[in-house]
Amino acid sequence: MTSSPLGRAWSRFDGPGRLVGVDLARGLAVLGMLAAHLLDTEHTLAPDPSTWVTLVNGRSSILFAVLAGVSIALVTGGPRPLAPQRRPRAAARLALRGALLWVIGLLLVMTGVPVYVILPAYALLFVLALPFLGMRARDLFLTAGALALLMPWVQPLLDAAPVFAGRGGAELEAALGWNYPFTVWIAFLLAGMGVGRLDLRALGEQILLVMAGLSLALAGYGFALATAPVAAGHPYLAAVLTAEDHSSGLWEVVGSGGFALAVIGICLLLCRTPLRWIAVPLRAVGSMPLTAYVLQLVVWAVVALVLLGDTSDLSGIREAGLFVPLTLGLIVGCTVWALTIGRGPLEMFVDAVVRLIVGRDATPGARSSGPAPVSGSGGVGGPR
């Protein structure tokens, strides 16, 4: 069967060398981003299930950022980092992928769709990851933890830099993906790289990932409630000691970062069971995250332009009810493509350019989802 095109596509999608739980987590992140964009998610989280949709705000993009780190680690040796003599080729490939993501991201910004396009930020994070390719899991987690605790205290000062308020400030923010500031988000990427350096096929590691993630989430959101009275009335402390979505505050970094780790662990555990077959459509979306992410924004832009004459009309596109048909279309389209052709079209394009310029990757090992160009794949947050 594997000699036929369909057999090869299935082998790539569900073969023994693929961590399908990572695909599932990435599929959830993609659809979470879409929900954050197109649904009314401005609710206070409560026991009422109707408020649970607010969970996609911020957390979907952070999950995507952590998964980017996982993918980078997996394609640079997995549990065993590449030897020093092999890192320059891997670094060149990642840097070029980052450059391509940056260009694609700017093209999406130019559509005028009212979302914070994350690809420029991902491009910078890919480059920032290069010095850490030789680190093992423990050192990556320690570095990520130190940055997570330190950088939220610095971020309000960086946000207030005159360069962003002056002429061209908005363009600079878009070019840097500053709504996902790399100064803080590098912590998510490095945490994901630490996850990718673990033995993700081991049951014990998967359970530990869930437990650690839930502990961090409880700590982050719990401390956010406990320190709220302290921060009240102090703008600087309010900017730091918060778990508000897209704030890059200390407690968001800890709480939502932990949430992302727990989701990845849960997805890995679920895919040890027959639920992996039920989750095939979501896994298909997660197997081609760059294609799914770009396609959703391009379709959004086209529909908004045709129906409303304005790609930036967020309320109009929400009232048009685009979420359900776009979500179903993505799921069906990605599933058919993944099971018949294999890799997503944009993933194939990026890989072809990288091979042409840098050469074929000689790295053996785990195929989780490639260095997923948007996990490389990435995550997008909510609307502006």
- In a domain, residue 375? The reply is no
Name 357's Cβ contacts closer than 8 Å, sequence gap at least 6: 96
Q: For residue 66, what are the contacts with CB-CB under 8 A and spacing of at least 6? A: 188, 189, 191, 192, 195, 257, 260, 261, 264
pLDDT, residue 41, reads: 74
In this structure, is residue 310 part of a structural domain? yes
Domain assignment present for residue 381? The answer is no
Does residue 206 fall inside a structural domain?
A: yes
What element of type H or E holds 127? Answer: helix 119-128
Residue 53 pLDDT > 90? no
Q: What is the pLDDT of residue 370?
A: 41
Does residue 375 register a pLDDT over 80?
A: no
* Residues 221, 126: Cα–Cα separation, whole Å: 28
d(C-alpha 341, C-alpha 347), whole Å: 12
Stated pTM of the model: 0.90
Indicate the residue type of 229. P
205-225 tens-digit pLDDT: 999 999 999 999 999 999 999
pLDDT tens digits for range 224-255: 999 999 998 899 999 999 999 999 999 999 99
Domain total for the chain? 1
Structure tokens at 378: 């990435």
Asked whether the beta carbons of 19 and 375 are under 8 A apart, the reply is no
Q: Domain range for residue 100?
A: 5-40+51-357
Residue 359's region, left for phi above 0, alpha for psi from -120 to 50, else beta, is left
124: Cβ contacts below 8 Å, ≥ 6 apart? 98, 102, 176, 177, 182
Mean pLDDT (whole number) for 115-134: 93
With cut-offs at 50, 70 and 90, classify the pLDDT of residue 46.
low
In a domain, 64, yes or no: yes
* 369 φ, ψ (degrees, to nearest 5): -170, 25
The answer as to whether 331 is a domain residue is yes
Q: What angle do CA 349, 343, 321 make, to 5 degrees?
A: 95
Q: Is residue 362 part of a domain?
A: no
Asked, for residue 374, whether it belongs to a domain, the answer is: no
Is 175 a residue whose pLDDT tops 70? yes
